[in-house]
Copies of this chain bind each other. A is one copy, B any other.
Amino acid sequence: MKRTERVGAIVKILSSHPNRVFSLSYFCKLFQAAKSTVSEDVSAAKKLLAKLELGSIETTAGAKGGIRFIPTVSSLRRENLLNELAERLSDGSRILGGGFLYTSDLMFDSHIINNVAEMFAEKFQDSGADYVVTIETKGIPVAYMTAHMLNLPLVVVRRESRISEGSTVSINYFSGSSDRIQKLSLAKRAVEPGKKAIIIDDFMRAGGSIKGIMDVLSEFDVKVVGTGVVIASLEPRKKVIDEYYPLLYLGKVDEQKKTIEVIRPSEYAVFGDDGVN
């Protein structure tokens, strides 16, 4: 195989399996090439990804060493995506009444969600998490893709314990948006005690559901080391959780005028609230 072909193959294989370590010998065998040749190929792959800001390749030394692809999001791509998401989110026809918005089309759109997941993966790359945890239903695609990008298992907390989950641990929590007590349950075999998790969800109002996930995880002695939400509501200013990473804030929804205010976290600082990181 030619250099061009080997480099292309390295880019394809590594980027299809983000954060998974491949040994150099894997590629030596695949290409029937010497280690020195493959090393040069990897350098070329690294350079081209860096030049076009398409991600990075990290080399780790040692017995378990090798190379892995780490997703990165260029500031231009980030800007374009947040613009697109903000524009689509502020479409007045999403207003359902009662302050609710229809967002399923966004949360199930792979173009939006894959990019959002890359942003979360970049943010939580060094969090040391063992799991990505979410709650059914609309947060599953973004949490799944974030888990894929970080090469971690996805864990889904259920609203009802189902027979196909086996033994479960359940908690009750107060949901501000539905104004009532809700139940969460997690299969006993879904996580191991002593591990760490990040929580990824599509939407957060006061943070009751996220707090509920934290509570159920603490029953398993699993520590939450980060929380990412695609959209956080500006109100209530005071959230029931301390730290979270939102991509966009949802401001005033005017049912009469059919307008939806969408705010960047960077613009939120001017509101001068201390309840948010």
Residues of chain A whose beta carbon lies under 8 Å from any beta carbon of chain B: 1, 3-5, 7-13, 15-17, 30, 44-45, 47-49, 51-52, 54-55, 96, 98, 100-105, 108-111, 113-114, 136-138, 140-141, 144-145, 147-148, 151, 153-156, 158, 163-166, 178, 187, 189-190
Interface of A is mostly: helix
A228 to chain B, nearest CB (A): 17
Q: Which of B11, B30, B98 contacts A8 (CB 8 A)?
A: B11
Q: Which of B15, B110, B153, B158 contacts A12 (CB 8 A)?
A: B15
In the complex, 6 of the A-B residue pairs with CB atoms within 8 angstroms, ordered by the A residue number, are: A4-B7, A4-B48, A12-B15, A12-B49, A100-B166, A138-B164
Q: Which of B52, B144, B164, B190 contacts A140 (CB 8 A)?
A: B144
- A8-B48, A48-B8, A54-B9 known; A108 vs B165 contact (CB < 8 Å): no
Please measure, in the bound complex, the distance between the C-alpha atom of A81 and the C-alpha atom of B138, giving whole angstroms.
Answer: 28
A157 to chain B, nearest CB (A): 10
- A11-B8, A96-B164 known; A189 vs B136 contact (CB < 8 Å): no
Please measure, in the bound complex, the distance between the C-alpha atom of A10 and the C-alpha atom of B47, giving whole angstroms.
Answer: 14
Please measure, in the bound complex, the distance between the C-alpha atom of A109 and the C-alpha atom of B148, giving whole angstroms.
Answer: 8
Chain B residue at smallest Cβ distance from A113? B144
Q: Hey, which chain B residues are within 8 Å of A4, CB to CB?
A: 3-4, 7-8, 44, 48
Chain B residue at smallest Cβ distance from A134? B108
Q: Hey, which chain B residues are within 8 Å of A151, CB to CB?
A: 110
Q: Which of B1, B100, B153 contacts A164 (CB 8 A)?
A: B100
Task: List 8 tightest A-B contacts by C-beta distance, closest first.
Answer: A110-B148, A5-B48, A108-B154, A140-B140, A8-B11, A141-B144, A96-B166, A8-B48
**Most chain B CB atoms below 10 A, which of A1, A105, A137:** A137
Would you call B13 and A12 a contact (CB within 8 A)?
no
A160 to chain B, nearest CB (A): 9
Please measure, in the bound complex, the distance between the C-alpha atom of A141 and the C-alpha atom of B140, giving whole angstroms.
Answer: 7
Please measure, in the bound complex, the distance between the C-alpha atom of A47 and the C-alpha atom of B166, giving whole angstroms.
Answer: 48
- A110-B144, A114-B148, A147-B110 known; A190 vs B104 contact (CB < 8 Å): yes
Please measure, in the bound complex, the distance between the C-alpha atom of A48 and the C-alpha atom of B104, giving whole angstroms.
Answer: 38
A143 to chain B, nearest CB (A): 9
Task: Give 5 A-B pairs besides A102-B164, A108-B144 with Cβ atoms closer than 8 angstroms.
Answer: A4-B48, A8-B45, A13-B54, A103-B164, A109-B154
Would you call A100 and B54 a contact (CB within 8 A)?
no
Q: Hey, which chain B residues are within 8 Å of A190, CB to CB?
A: 104-105
Please measure, in the bound complex, the distance between the C-alpha atom of A151 and the C-alpha atom of B114, giving whole angstroms.
Answer: 12
Please measure, in the bound complex, the distance between the C-alpha atom of A126 and the C-alpha atom of B164, giving whole angstroms.
Answer: 34
